[in-house]
Amino acid sequence: MNLRHLFLTASSTAAPFCWGAPSAPVREAPCIIPRPASLEFKAGQPGFALKDGGVKLPAGHPLSVQAERLFRENGVKTAMVEQGADIAFTEDKSLGGEGYRLTVTLDSISIDCGAANGGLHALQSLMQSIVKDGGGAPALAALEVRDQPRFSWRGIMMDSCRHMMPVRDIKKVLDLMSRYKFNILHWHLTDDQGWRLPVAKYPRLTETGGTRAQSPVTGNRSKPDGKPYSGHYTAEEIRDVVQYAKDRGITVIPEVELPGHASAAIAAYPELGNADIPDYAPKVQETWGVHPYTFAPTEKTFRFLEDVIDEVCRLFPDSPYIHIGGDEAPKDQWKQSPTAQQVMKDKGLKNEHELQSYFVRRVEKMINAHGKRLIGWDEIQEGGLSPTATMMVWRSWMPNSARHALEQGNDIVMTPNSHLYFDYDQGPGKPAAAEYETINNDSLTWQHVYSLEPVPPGTPKAREKQVLGCQANVWAEYIPNLPKWEYQVFPRALALAEVAWTPRELKNEQDFRLRLERQLPFLDARGVNYKRPDNGAPARPDAVITRELR
């Protein structure tokens, strides 16, 4: 049975047989984050009661499975029925892939969407519409919502190289992302301090490249802890994460760093680096920062990268992009390498920046051969940007980089470290414990995140569509476990969710703050170790614990 037939079946059988019962009058307005494009709340009217029979869902509909999960997680009983369902799912292609209409009356719920992800977003808005009626019982407020996202890219980047989050914790992150309508998990899987991605043809990538001899002590980046750090994800774990995310409307975008941030790969296979330079001694790096080891621009390296990309495409079949990093690639080794200099001469390249551009374009052809697109950090434009590449703008001190890419016709994703580096401090009130060491930046509060306008100033109207959206980056040098990750990300993630989804003209910080307070009980119930929005202590000050990878 196809999805269209299921939409038609559910909508034709549900309406005449609704079992729902009205609640007492509801005066408590729903506080949905991100704010919908249009919401009409009917204050003082009865809503849809939840205290007795719960919600009856149309059996056999794929969205009923998701609805059952979400209602259960929010303490609401459900039942699958062949007839008499309380919810009617109806297909409306005019709403696009993520738009939806949601209507709640005293005896029925209707969701119209153009695709499954729109239906998921409607269900998340429905979960945030659970309030207490005049009798103190749970109910769904009577409302009408018509909604769609402002931007198609609403992301969070997870860094598993410096500190590796177990799959169970990644799933918790995905559940939280889905509630607030994020749709991209950018997964940083390779770097100088560890290679976490399994590639069957190259087992030493994880055997050798997945282990560093030690790490900086938490709270003192210049002092080593003397403890080996090792781990990687299996292919089965990655497929599990990808499917779990897909079920929640989230696409996982993998990142394989090149040509720089390659120490771990080169430590595993030294022939991939610039082995013809003096004092060549690659190793998996034990400290944070930028390190000099870059891939050599040789045919052996390109064959290796082609094999890696083949494996990445098998593990992440639904990702339309492969992220190649491209940032912070020192050119010193290429300048010293006779081999690299000969490549430059043979290809007519004027400098090492052009060599990096040549390197990136070679890799882009491999990615395009799989029907996918290349995306990278804004350094990929140094030496010349491919006209088909997508660029992530992270260096806030280089405002012209975004404008230049847009003028060339490239798509961009805004990730400026001035607003969206969630490994930075998020204002005063940080606990004194060493586990809370981070990068000092007291101005990066949730209010500052909320102030972000993703479309760069001066962007012509015709080019605004090239701004795909925005993303928070959560680098993990100072984030050893999930509680610390949560503390860095929440509540700033909720502010970003509204920046990325809500029409610009509807943003209102004061209104958002009121809705944010209403979200805190949900975060408390899920055990999220958020920072108090009033800059107080975290929800669970004793929550930072050491977790074993395996």
Lowest mean pLDDT among 159-163, 392-396, 434-438: 434-438
pLDDT confidence of residue 252: 98
| pLDDT band per the 50, 70, 90 thresholds, residue 3 | very low
pTM: 0.93
CA gap 242, 317 in Å, rounded: 9
**Better-scored residue on pLDDT, 21 or 268:** 268
Which residue among 144, 169, 328, 442 is the active-site one? 328
| pLDDT band per the 50, 70, 90 thresholds, residue 346 | very high
Say yes or no to pLDDT of 531 above 60: yes
- Per-residue pLDDT of 166-196, as tens digits, reads 999 999 999 999 999 999 999 999 999 999 9
Say yes or no to pLDDT of 356 above 80: yes
- Per-residue pLDDT of 216-258, as tens digits, reads 998 788 899 999 999 999 999 999 999 999 999 999 999 999 9
Query: Is the bond preceding 503 in cis, omega lying within 30 degrees of 0?
Result: no
Chain-centroid distance of CA 451 in Å reads 20
Task: Work out the mean pLDDT of the chain and round it to a whole number.
Answer: 92
Say yes or no to pLDDT of 7 above 70: no
Nearest to 127 by CA among 60, 59, 52, 75: 75
Half-sphere exposure of 3 (CA within 13 A, CB side): 12
Q: Name all domains of the chain by residue range, CATH numbers in brackets.
A: 3-147 (3.30.379.10)
Average pLDDT, integer, range 351-380: 97
- Per-residue pLDDT of 32-47, as tens digits, reads 999 999 999 989 999 9
Return the percentage of the chain with pLDDT > 90, whole number. 86
Which residue among 121, 232, 261, 291 is the active-site one? 261
pLDDT confidence of residue 536: 65
Lowest mean pLDDT among 122-136, 380-394, 437-451: 437-451
Query: Is the bond preceding 149 in cis, omega lying within 30 degrees of 0?
Result: no
Q: Is 261 a catalytic residue?
A: yes
Which residue among 86, 133, 191, 378 is the active-site one? 191
C-alpha separations of 228 from 15, 158, 215, 373 in Å: 61, 22, 8, 36
Task: Decide if 414 contacts 467 (C-beta within 8 A).
Answer: yes
pLDDT confidence of residue 398: 85
CA gap 286, 382 in Å, rounded: 28
| pLDDT band per the 50, 70, 90 thresholds, residue 18 | very low
pLDDT confidence of residue 221: 81
CA gap 67, 110 in Å, rounded: 13
CA gap 256, 186 in Å, rounded: 11
CA gap 206, 268 in Å, rounded: 8
